[in-house]
Amino acid sequence: MLFLSLLRATLHNATEQTRTAAAHGLINNNLTVTITTVQHDCIRGTVQRCTGRKYRTSIHSSVDTPDISVTCQCAEAVRHGKVCMHAVALALYAYALTATP
């Protein structure tokens, strides 16, 4: 799966509310993203809230299926298996870094 497909799938699999929360968090500097790995099939980084709490987050493509898998240390991802706002923030940030004008 290509890098942009990975980002698109992450946004697609998140709820509207999660996408909005992530975008607002980035715009208002309530979320700070640090990218540690960007590959065609994997993005990893940490997302820090303005409270100081940090979450390690990653987005991977699967070799066997068209699905993506998202991991994060927050309750939304761990307990509920959802694409959380940290993963969406990571995807948006990675896209902004790599987008060509």
Question: Interface residues for Zn ion in 57-86 (CB under 5 A)?
Answer: 72, 74, 77, 84, 86
Q: How far is the CB of 79 from Zn ion (least distance, A)?
A: 11
Residues in the interface with Zn ion (CB under 5 A) total 6
Q: How far is the CB of 5 from Zn ion (least distance, A)?
A: 21
Pull the structure tokens for residue 91. Answer: 């995807």
3-state secondary structure of 93: helix
Nearer to Zn ion, 46 or 63 (CB): 46
Q: How far is the CB of 54 from Zn ion (least distance, A)?
A: 11
Rounded Cα gap, residues 74 and 86, in angstroms: 8
Please choose, from the candidates 1, 4, 34, the residue with its C-alpha nearest in 3D space to the C-alpha of residue 100: 4
Question: Interface residues for Zn ion in 39-58 (CB under 5 A)?
Answer: 55
Which residues would be at the binding site for Zn ion (CB under 5 A)? 55, 72, 74, 77, 84, 86
